[in-house]
Amino acid sequence: MTKLTQKQINKESLLSQGVTLLMQQGYHGTGLKEILDAVQIPKGSFYNYFGSKENFAVEVIQHYINPFIDQLSGHLQKTDNDALSALQNYFNELIIELEKAEFKGGCLLGNLMGEIGDTSEVCQKSLQLAVHRYRNLLQAGLLKAQQEGTVRIDKSAEEMADLLVDLWQGALLRMKIEQSSTPLKQCCENLLGDFFKS
């Protein structure tokens, strides 16, 4: 196993702190000083790592989505489940995590899409990349489910993955104002438990 350098450890700490603060306070509500103070790194060092706050947000977005990609991949790679069950289990796991967090935060991608999705070109591209990476993995799972005969084939896996991402993002926003997991459960039940099924 490769030993991480102090620079890599510092960068990882900055990105993790960035996820937390951007989730809680948004892009415009988070100052660099707050991030740096939280991880005890001098201001000059920040610019060696990222160059600007915008570039920092670009990397935070990818840092945020990576664990979700890993978690979803893990479910899809389990051999004891069919792909549709794997997707259902994955989303059920997310719902449990959101309930434990008392519905705080929602999704950093959705939050930033609303805040800076059309004002920062580099962040917009990073958000697109993160959403496409996630959507493509859902698409692969739905394609596998189609091949297994559990998901309808009159709609493309790509169309269904797009619909799932869009409805899930909307359900996350409703969750925040309702303080309830009901919109998330309805999203999964209506799509994975009904509309997508063959």
> pLDDT of 158-180, one tens digit each?
999 999 999 999 999 999 999 99
CA atoms within 13 A on the CB side of 151: 28
Contact assessment for residue 111 and residue 52, using Cβ atoms and an 8 Å cutoff: no
Residue 139 maps to which CATH number? 1.10.357.10
Assigned domain for 33 exists: no
For the chain, how are helix, strand and coil distributed in percent, rounded to 5? Answer: 75, 0, 25
Overall domain count for the chain:
1
Model pTM? 0.91
Question: Structure tokens of 186?
Answer: 């309805």
Quote the pLDDT of residue 7.
Answer: 77
Residue 191 lies in domain: 54-195
Assigned domain for 32 exists: no
Band (pLDDT 50/70/90 cuts) for residue 148 is very high
Question: Structure tokens of 182?
Answer: 């009901």
Assigned domain for 11 exists: no
